[in-house]
Structure 1
Amino acid sequence: MTRKFTKNAVILLTAFTIIEVSPLPIVQLVQPAAAENNFLNALFGVNARKRRQAEKKRREEALRQQPKKPAPRIRGARYKTYIADKLVTAKLDQIVDPVTTSAVSHNENIATTAQANSTAKTDPFALGFETLSSLNLKTLPEVSEALVTHYSSSPSYRWVNENGPTKQALALHKALQEAYMVGLPNENYTVDLPNAAVLATGESAWSDYMRFEMELSAAILTYMVDASRGLISPKKISGYHDFKRKKLDLDKALFKAALSDNPTEFLHSFNPSGEHFLALKSELAELLGAEEKERITIAPDTFLKPGKSSPEMRNIVASIRLKGSEELKTNYAFELNTYRGDDLYTPELVTLVKAFQKENNLSDDGIIGRKTIRAMVEDSNAVKIEKVKLAMERARWLPGKLADRRVFINQPAYNVTYYENNKSKLSMRVVVGKKSNQTNFFDDEIEKVEFNPYWGVPQSIITNEMLPKLRADPSYLDRLGYEVSYNGRRSSSSSIDWYSLNSTRAVGVRQPPGRKNALGELKILFPNAHAIYMHDTPAKKLFGRDTRAFSHGCVRLQDPRAMAAAVLGTDLNSIEGHIAPRKNKTVFVDKPIPVHVSYFTAWPNDAGAIEYFDDVYGRDKALQKAFATTIKSRTAS
């Protein structure tokens, strides 16, 4: 059979023959054929890809043949087993003897035996002084020091007289037993009143008076410390908490308490005084006095899409009947009244659910998941009480009164609010850190806004995420357009032996400004040890989700231009003017603005009503454990 060859086949065979025998460069030989047809161009393109693939395989094989060693890794902060503040035995025996003190002659600085004996017989404090050496009073070190300083400088009773406890003492004693009303464990401030039987018989009671005096003063001082700075040391919980503990002049505070016309009010003044704390206090009082409300439960693992079926459908509808607004129930009366308890998630019910989601500021996608169920199923009073108490403790780590102009980020709410004159002026959704890259809890001050920013890649990302890719493909960062430095000098990523690195500390990586930049158009900076700031992002879709824990720790803003305008005290046109040239630029704020990167699962909204949120990082549990450890330590002592 005669075989016929096409013109292209003849050209191809001829080219192969010439290539085989000719010393000339391939490009010169194939040009005539390429002019006839693009077939050879495609052929050699395939060969080029094959060569690249072969080179990649040789590189991977070379890596496999090198000695195996674990890749370096930077770990995030960890949660710790909480250790309560150590209590000490108060050194009451170091209080200066009042007999010796009062017997000292101011002119000659000589004490006489006669003066000492006279003082011992008449001074009530001296009558109970011997009791001090036998008192085993366990307290905080700073409280012990304050007791010695206070009573040495002024050796007299504050809380008792010849008739027993003073009115101020009884008022303070009662206030300490109501510490739970401000979220503190009142069992930590328990003091027994003087023995009533001894008072009734008229026997000498100065020893018991001295015991009561010291214990009440210690309890008052301990309350002052706990109310102002918190019962818990936040840094002992985890590295994600960053607060310095507040210090008080306890000696001075005890004098003021004794001289106050309203000692109870004075004691309460050591709690935070801001509107946020007053709202939490009011909510706690209401919850403690309220009966448990009607609650409908929905299986927590329920996940329901339109058209699917679930036995939880009847509970879902019942929850909307219970928790939906009157307007919602009026507008969707048909959907509610025609439902007959079926399991099918019908189009009519989808419409109803979407309306409920919108009313509760959720994504109105009709999908019933964890966030929607949370809105439908209210926390029990017991759960709310616990969240409010934890919120009051965390509020003590912040300034007692928040600045009138401030930025407040609440991670569990996935929200940031800008305040002016203590009023909310701007609020928006945020994306915070993943559970493996949690956003820290701390205070700082906003100093500047950087437009068209560079992204300096954190060492944790270089080590944990980029290094494995660079070991497989050293040109990875070059191809993506990142700028790389090694030991302070600019370098290409392909020129670095990534496999031999035991640490990436000598490596710097940054992404230039541009549309693909991870920080978008701008970042708002409050320089801190955690390298956390607020910024724009190209990943806009994430703001549509109800749960928004996706970042490496920084706070992504839904409307970064509006926030930049707020902190700079300007308008959006001005912000556009900074961005439009597409050049890196920094603008400083006129005056640093306090920013609170906070974590509250209970917090008041603009109207002062307390809202409750999921414990996204499990920090409520960690704080509860710290509370239990501390209370046990205190009561045992």
Structure 2
Amino acid sequence: MKSILIRLGLLFCCFLLLALSCQSKSKNYKSAVSIPEPVKVVVKEYVPETFDSTLVAPFFIKYPKLKHLKPEVSALYRRHQYRHLWYDSKGLNEFANLLYDKANNLDQEGLQIKVPYQEKLSALFQDSDTTGKSKVEAELFLSSLYFFYADKVYKGLDVKTTKEMGWYLPRKKQSYTNRLDSLLQNPSLFNQPEKDVLGQYYLLKEALKEYRIIEKKGGWSDIEIPKKMKSLKPGDTSTLILQIRKRLLITGELQKDSEKNEFDKDLLAGVIKYKNKNGFTPDSLLSSTHLKNMNIPVHERIKTIMVNMERCRWVSSSLTKSEQYIVVNIPSYTLTFFKDGKLVLLSKVVVGKAMNKTAVFSGVMNQIIFSPYWNVPPNILRKEILPAIAKNSNYLARNQMEWYDGRVRQRPGPKNALGKVKFVFPNSHIIYMHDTPSKSLFEQDQRAFSHGCIRVARPRDLAILVLKDDPNWTVEKIDAAMNRGVEKAYNLKTKIPVFIGYFTSWVDNDGEVHFYDDVYGRDDRLASLLLSN
């Protein structure tokens, strides 16, 4: 046992000596070999050059088609002390190339316009040796191109023109100078949705892409509609059905063409989907009216999408940021109530007829009136009521009307033109929303019958939602006030924004594009303005 311990001790001493020997050699090696210090490479930061401010004015004299952009371009360079913005150490920077590519593809933004001095711009990107005055000219060209792009893609037609077209929704006011600073730092932001543009714009942009693909494939053929066509219904057989199947397949209402001439359940599902997307009552009958709608050519659908992309440019994205708001779209004859970003009510509406157009504007609902009087507007009194009184002296009594303070008003009751409730959002157009005793009108596809005000198919539901968070009102109290026959006005504790718009094409949350009749005939005029710019 003793000898074993002695051997283990000797073995441990050997290991210890070996370790000390290696450590000593390592120290000697380090002292013998000198390791050079790492070389520090000084990278010179690129500092943009400056240019003579007096060169700005002559540029816009030389290129007069860009003159309207001079104020924005001049302000931009004053802000940046006349430093070059579009060049880096390698030449034209990344954002310059991205902007040029976008400007060459304005058709993807629903615009058929030519960039001013296109050939000159193209030459800039082919000549990499710009110096001196030519470099300054390239600089000013690119800044002008940026503001030209922002004006056309983000702002759209000027305020004066849109008002002449009956658009009184407030136009957004923004400067894209700050946006340019961000884009120069991070060009990839240019491919992301612009925050000040209504999100619907980008949905329509995708729809435009899809319909242009359909157009490239030949679109669709006209369905041959018989002169004395009877409505088709499920179970019917007809060679006409073969054409309908092919048509619905192209726009996605049918997923496959069974090539059957029978109006079966698959075709019915496609027909209902088509009707929902085109402003028709989603029933099972197919009439010549529906087939005529299917025959609207693809290039017309593309034009409609482009027109509504333009309208989206006029609306601020802040519209959808309110906690609650109501939107009425005239061509679709619908009211939509949004609360906390969610749709809480969808109702059919009746809008003004062609001679009494409902205005496109915004207001703030601040009052609800139960069992309202209808104060007959002067023009209706002059054109309708007074002639009726002249023919029948008993006209006022028969219609629950009376003279009051030099005017005619209709008392609350079942015959009252405003029904049981009225929603007030003060405006210069004297337009409001209300109930109506003429419920049958809501069953029609085309619902432009009023003198300009908006009749709501679900007024009780709207009243309940408007007053939902008000402790003064229960559903029972609302019902009682609506049926009491005594006018009661109530000022809302929470005001609700109301937006009345005019969109003949819209993309829903499922990505389905909808088309509606141009009830006031406004699309063609707008299209002509867009195509002429």
Scaled by the length of structure 2, the TM-score of the pair is 0.75
Q: Which residue pairs with 1:517 in the alignment?
A: 416
Q: 1:416 to 1:264 in 2, by over 3 A?
A: same
Within the candidate set 275, 291, 295, 1:373 is matched to: 291
Within the candidate set 358, 361, 368, 1:449 is matched to: 368
Alignment of 1:455-470 (within 5 A): 455-470=374-389
Q: 1:234 to 1:548 in 2, by over 3 A?
A: farther
Residue 549 of structure 1 and its aligned partner are, at CA, apart by 1.2
Q: 1:457 to 1:189 in 2, by over 3 A?
A: farther
Asked if the contact 2:66–2:116 (Cα under 8 Å) also holds between the matched residues in 1, the reply is no
Q: 1:354 to 1:236 in 2, by over 3 A?
A: closer
The code of the aligned residue for 2:121 comes to L
Rounded to whole Å, the distance in 2 between the matches of 1:244 and 1:148 is 28
Q: 1:155 to 1:547 in 2, by over 3 A?
A: same
Q: Which residue pairs with 1:415 in the alignment?
A: 334
Alignment of 1:67-78 (within 5 A): none
The code of the aligned residue for 1:551 comes to S
Asked if the contact 2:198–2:316 (Cα under 8 Å) also holds between the matched residues in 1, the reply is no
The code of the aligned residue for 2:132 comes to W
Q: 1:193 to 1:140 in 2, by over 3 A?
A: closer
The code of the aligned residue for 2:210 comes to E
Within the candidate set 503, 507, 511, 1:608 is matched to: 511
Q: Which residue pairs with 1:220 in the alignment?
A: 146
Q: Secondary structure at the match of 1:418?
A: strand
Within the candidate set 322, 344, 347, 1:428 is matched to: 347
1:541 aligns with 2:456: no
Q: Which residue pairs with 2:73 in the alignment?
A: 147
Q: Which residue pairs with 1:360 in the alignment?
A: 275
Within the candidate set 448, 467, 482, 1:579 is matched to: 482
Q: 1:355 to 1:215 in 2, by over 3 A?
A: closer
The code of the aligned residue for 2:362 comes to D
Q: Secondary structure at the match of 1:596?
A: strand
The code of the aligned residue for 1:373 comes to L
Residue 515 of structure 1 and its aligned partner are, at CA, apart by 0.7
Rounded to whole Å, the distance in 1 between the matches of 2:268 and 2:444 is 16
1:230 aligns with 2:156: yes
Rounded to whole Å, the distance in 2 between the matches of 1:554 and 1:562 is 19
Q: Which residue pairs with 2:248 in the alignment?
A: 323
Rounded to whole Å, the distance in 2 between the matches of 1:215 and 1:160 is 13
Residue 580 of structure 1 and its aligned partner are, at CA, apart by 3.1
Asked if the contact 1:431–1:550 (Cα under 8 Å) also holds between the matched residues in 2, the reply is yes
Rounded to whole Å, the distance in 1 between the matches of 2:229 and 2:466 is 42
**Percent same amino acid among aligned pairs?**
27
Asked if the contact 2:371–2:485 (Cα under 8 Å) also holds between the matched residues in 1, the reply is yes
Rounded to whole Å, the distance in 2 between the matches of 1:173 and 1:197 is 9
Q: Which residue pairs with 2:300 in the alignment?
A: 383
Alignment of 1:145-544 (within 5 A): 145-153=71-79, 154-160=81-87, 164-185=91-112, 187-188=114-115, 191=118, 192-193=120-121, 195=123, 199=127, 205-233=131-159, 236=162, 238=164, 240-262=166-188, 264-265=190-191, 269=194, 272-274=197-199, 276-290=200-214, 291-292=216-217, 295-298=220-223, 304-305=229-230, 314-315=239-240, 318-319=243-244, 323=248, 335-336=262-263, 356=271, 360=275, 362=281, 364=283, 366=285, 368-370=287-289, 372-373=290-291, 377=294, 379-401=296-318, 402-403=320-321, 405-470=324-389, 476-477=395-396, 480-485=399-404, 489-490=405-406, 508-544=407-443
Rounded to whole Å, the distance in 1 between the matches of 2:510 and 2:212 is 21
Residue 189 of structure 1 and its aligned partner are, at CA, apart by 6.4
Q: Secondary structure at the match of 1:223?
A: helix
Structure 2 spans left out of the alignment, 5+ residues: 1-47
Q: 1:594 to 1:379 in 2, by over 3 A?
A: farther
Q: Secondary structure at the match of 1:441?
A: coil
Asked if the contact 2:505–2:513 (Cα under 8 Å) also holds between the matched residues in 1, the reply is yes
Structure 1 spans left out of the alignment, 5+ residues: 1-121, 338-348, 491-507, 632-637
Q: 1:423 to 1:573 in 2, by over 3 A?
A: same
Which segment is superposed worse, 547-556 or 163-172? 163-172
The code of the aligned residue for 1:389 comes to M
Q: Secondary structure at the match of 1:413?
A: coil
Q: 1:354 to 1:513 in 2, by over 3 A?
A: farther
Residue 197 of structure 1 and its aligned partner are, at CA, apart by 10
Q: 1:374 to 1:456 in 2, by over 3 A?
A: farther
Q: 1:461 to 1:301 in 2, by over 3 A?
A: farther
Rounded to whole Å, the distance in 2 between the matches of 1:589 and 1:328 is 52
Residue 126 of structure 1 and its aligned partner are, at CA, apart by 3.1
Q: Secondary structure at the match of 1:187?
A: coil
TM-superposition CA deviations, 1:29-67 (whole Å, max 9, x none): xxxxxxxxxxxxxxxxxxxxxxxxxxxxxxxxxxxxxxx
Residue 521 of structure 1 and its aligned partner are, at CA, apart by 0.6
Residue 365 of structure 1 and its aligned partner are, at CA, apart by 8.3
Rounded to whole Å, the distance in 2 between the matches of 1:190 and 1:151 is 21
TM-superposition CA deviations, 1:272-293 (whole Å, max 9, x none): 152x333212212222334446
TM-superposition CA deviations, 1:414-440 (whole Å, max 9, x none): 222222232222212211111111111
TM-superposition CA deviations, 1:102-160 (whole Å, max 9, x none): xxxxxxxxxxxxxxxxxxxx96513993864753343474x322222222341121113
Rounded to whole Å, the distance in 1 between the matches of 2:242 and 2:446 is 23
Q: Which residue pairs with 2:5 in the alignment?
A: none
Residue 449 of structure 1 and its aligned partner are, at CA, apart by 1.8
Which segment is superposed worse, 394-403 or 426-435? 394-403
Asked if the contact 1:237–1:626 (Cα under 8 Å) also holds between the matched residues in 2, the reply is no
TM-superposition CA deviations, 1:508-532 (whole Å, max 9, x none): 3321211100010112222211122
Asked if the contact 1:448–1:587 (Cα under 8 Å) also holds between the matched residues in 2, the reply is yes
Asked if the contact 1:271–1:400 (Cα under 8 Å) also holds between the matched residues in 2, the reply is yes
Rounded to whole Å, the distance in 1 between the matches of 2:54 and 2:189 is 25
Residue 584 of structure 1 and its aligned partner are, at CA, apart by 1.0
Rounded to whole Å, the distance in 1 between the matches of 2:53 and 2:434 is 67
Residue 462 of structure 1 and its aligned partner are, at CA, apart by 2.1
Scaled by the length of structure 1, the TM-score of the pair is 0.64
Q: Secondary structure at the match of 1:520?
A: coil
Q: 1:196 to 1:567 in 2, by over 3 A?
A: closer
Rounded to whole Å, the distance in 1 between the matches of 2:275 and 2:495 is 34
TM-superposition CA deviations, 1:248-275 (whole Å, max 9, x none): 2344444444344535247x5266152x
Residue 596 of structure 1 and its aligned partner are, at CA, apart by 2.0
Which segment is superposed worse, 131-140 or 213-222? 131-140
Residue 479 of structure 1 and its aligned partner are, at CA, apart by 5.2
